[in-house]
């Protein structure tokens, strides 16, 4: 969707936005290093404003944000309740060291614990996804006394050292030296089946058989954890067939794998 407006949500005129965007782009190309990109080959779009499900580029064009920025603005940009909550918290306390108790963090933990199953009542807050993955793997290795971690091909787990080795797409290759204790496996995806399946049920059954065979061949006593996106996203939205995730859970239970 492309629509040019005369005034942006942030109050800037199109002319002012263009001038600001030109300066922004100049500074970006001079000083900003973009992830997963050949720097000389990219020409990043400049975003100057956002509202609801739309963003505005440096030319004042209003664009429908089908990607939800990085698939995370699921209630839209600049939601007034979110903006108000951020402003309220910033006025009260911008940051707090991890060794202290804090009302916002305690309440967030309570809300999460309300929604987690069983006795999952403790929350360890991290700075982001890759950070969470690094800590989860470290915990699994300490808990089990084992080192190997199984991860799916066509997955994405982050850009830090362990997380990038766990990642199952080719972006890991320059950093994957085969010594991180990671073993990859193929997951179910009937549209591009690795298992010559013709139905979702066959795909699930054969993917689970493949995973169990891998566990046995690698040695269950050497495997600390299996890390798995419930629905892989970065390499394609691959919704698992019915029963697959439950089957992985059952294999972990059987072989003592986190």
pLDDT for the residue 1: 52
Domain identity same for 120 and 133: no
CATH of the domain at 214: 3.40.640.10
- 8 Å CB contact between 182 and 166: yes
The pLDDT mean for the chain works out to: 93
pTM comes to 0.85
Same domain, 97 and 146: no
- Show which of 57, 79, 101 is a domain's final residue: 79
Query: Is 100 found in the same domain as 45?
Result: no
Asked if residue 168 and residue 107 are part of one domain, the reply reads no
Predicted pLDDT of residue 171: 87
Domain, as residue range, for 103: 93-125
**Mean per-residue pLDDT, 202-211:** 98
Q: What is the percentage of the chain residues whose pLDDT exceeds 90?
A: 84
- Looking at the structure, do residues 6 and 68 belong to the same domain, yes or no? yes
DSSP of the chain, one letter per residue?
-EEE-SB-TTS-BHHHHHHHHHHHHHHHHHHPPPTTS-GGG--PPPEEEEEBTEEEETT-EEEE-TTHHHHT-TT-BT-HHHHHHHHHHHHH-S---TTS--HHHHHHHHHHHHHS-TT-------SSHHHHHHHHHHHHHHHHS--EEEEETT----SSHHHHHH--SGGGGGG--S-SSEEEEPPP-GGG-SS--SSHHHHHHHHHHHHHHHHHHH-GGGEEEEE--SS--TT---PPPTTHHHHHHHHHHHHT--
Pair 74, 131 in one domain: no
Whether 88 maps to a domain, the answer reads no
Residue 11: the pLDDT is 83
Domain membership of residue 86 (yes or no) is no
Residue 2 has pLDDT above 90, yes or no: no
Block residue for tokens 């290093």: 33
Residues 101 and 168 in one domain: no
Calpha distance 249→257 (Å, rounded): 9
């Amino acid at each position: 969707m492309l629509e040019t407006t005369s005034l942006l949500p942030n109050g800037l005129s199109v002319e002012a936005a263009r001038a600001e965007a030109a300066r922004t782009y100049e500074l970006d190309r001079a000083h900003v290093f973009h992830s997963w990109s050949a720097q000389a080959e990219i020409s990043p779009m400049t975003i100057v404003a956002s509202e609801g499900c739309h963003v505005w580029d440096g030319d004042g064009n209003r664009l429908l944000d089908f990607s939800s920025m990085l698939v995370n603005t699921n209630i839209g940009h600049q939601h007034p309740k979110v903006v108000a909550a951020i402003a309220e918290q910033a006025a009260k306390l911008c940051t707090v060291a991890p060794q202290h108790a804090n009302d916002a963090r305690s309440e967030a933990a309570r809300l999460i614990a309300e929604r987690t199953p069983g006795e999952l009542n403790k929350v360890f807050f991290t700075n982001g996804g890759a950070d969470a993955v690094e800590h989860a793997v470290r915990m699994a290795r300490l808990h089990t006394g084992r080192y190997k971690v199984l991860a799916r091909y066509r997955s994405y787990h982050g850009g830090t050292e362990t997380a990038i080795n766990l990642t199952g797409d080719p972006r890991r290759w320059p950093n994957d030296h085969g010594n991180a204790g990671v073993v990859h496996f193929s997951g179910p995806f009937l549209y591009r089946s690795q298992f010559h399946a013709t139905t979702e049920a066959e795909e699930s059954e054969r993917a689970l058989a493949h995973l169990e065979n891998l566990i046995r061949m690698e040695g269950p006593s050497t495997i600390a954890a299996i890390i798995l996106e419930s629905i892989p996203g970065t390499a394609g939205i691959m919704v698992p067939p019915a029963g697959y995730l439950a089957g992985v859970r059952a294999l972990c239970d059987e072989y003592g794998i986190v």
